[in-house]
Structure 1
């Protein structure tokens, strides 16, 4: 039986629209049911629909007489996917509409096909008037939830529109070469035989590709010549100032990109420990270590506790704290839908707890690098400022760099078109007390 890709896309998105799971996890679970030749289309429909969800949902509300019932959220997903095709893809209109109607049959809801057909055809007829009218709504105009727009305007009055514009784009595919296996110049030569690529500006190990593709087809993937990692995340290993003989901890380590970079960059480290709370996410760490031929001590544990710790203090700690992920919306567009304003306060409390716990495991003279992929100061510089005022043996080390913008504490990066994601770093040193 042929697969209706729109029906499968609806099954990917339905749990998200019910506030369950994430786009990445749902895609991983269902993508294997899609013929390989159609997987690119499936990803386009799912990620594209969630990228433009604020706009698409605003349009759908104008087209409806009554909202969809909870049991029919899968049909709502079909409608959103249909609108996405009509507005943002080159799929012929008749094909987008017909396939959407057919998707209802595949979902065992054939009668809903009439509604989908009517909604999409009405949009075609009234598109100009609907879009003009919706320009008055902030969430439609900027394609972000209103709470996020307001928070960005308040936190970053000079940068908020740049951040929003970048969030609405698709992120570039960026690699980090494994310096133990190759060097950037040599690998670029191999890569440019296959696709166009260029070195990143700020990371000496980074390579940015001109197009997205299956990285498993690239030279050296199986033997660990590179990893997929955004340029902003690649900056962490250099900031840690790794030296031979050091004990290093990567707290909150999944999926393992920064951990592997530490192991690639740190010559003669005496011990590298990694902590990850979720066993499923820890599997990704193990997979990455194996492919790259690296080793670390992996603990399935809570970084806010010390039950797993052997009591020997660390010279370096990387704390890539759980956060709102608002700096990586380009890669995870469902964040716009799933994240709520009240989440930020709860996350900042968790971040403070983990930071306090990790600080207790740091040697006097040691350094802790606090990192998030958030663009909100509440999770970043304000949290660090509060920690500094409460911690006598903490010293802030300014980061002198060409990237990002300097803050009172740390440096903040914003997502860049054809560049890095949004990220925050603060480097702290533990002062030996008399």
Structure 2
């Protein structure tokens, strides 16, 4: 059993922004369970921090189990990863063995099937004892998903480390372990200056950089190629965007794109690979597509009256920089198409929102809290389901045009052109590097 004395400091770990009306406020406020972005295979990451568990007399463990199920239910249909920070479990806060046994049995096959990796950080002898107790109950297949990590740095091989919300107690404990291993505190190493991106870099660079390096194209090449491929071959694939892919394959394609080399998804024979690449591209943008400035507005969507939410979404979208608006419209148009085939692919607007919400917007610092899940997913779902209304026109930009351009826009907007049964509509005002000011472009109401 654990002998360490770990102090529990509620003020340091509670989610102060959590609504008191949350159905599991009594448990959620401690921050024991957190969302932490995606791993290197595009799977959603959930963390469990023992050091944030208060003494047993202050926490109803049955409620904790219910809350864990409540959290996992939002992602159990998708591949996901669980990170368990063991440090901080002690005689005062640990659940009983009977509770652990019943908890394992209660999580049925659907929870275990899509759990693709379980990382146990800072394992101790107590973990070995538990393993011997539960070994008869744990299948060999499930056992292969468990990885023991002695140090936090070991996580970097598997996850996007900077997205993790690691408790300060765990960080200090990790440093103490390293100091003991080396006998003395290591000197502070100077980090090398960041390298400038390659001219052909596609991941981890801004939309403006991609535009400048791709002859003024507004839609990034990675998005254009993955969306085009998925439109032609993946619209009716069941569970599209829910499955993960080989880490090595993702790294290989990542490298090819960054080196400016061609990528042929047919060579890989897995429709989920371009789906993961698209999500990875969005998540690695220096600033989210919906921008940091919109984060608080988006979180407020749940407080808006239901009948006004689409209008509220449109107002947020209208406030985006022009380049972000065009790229977002391209993406949401495609996701709307995917949702239209949900009878085959099972990916409704709601299901797509659960996958893409955190890839479109995240806070300036750290990962999104579980508190933010509902509004972020709701906002994304509204974008997908009400695509035509939200992305109809962008009238606010007209005030910046010269009078003759406004007149031309007004005349054109009153005309209806029908070609082969398809209607041409204005898609907005976009800037052009060779023209001073802006001009209006018309396009078929599809993903351009």
Which of structures 1 and 2 has the bigger CA Rg?
2
If the length of structure 2 is used for normalisation, what is the TM-score?
0.27
If the length of structure 1 is used for normalisation, what is the TM-score?
0.27
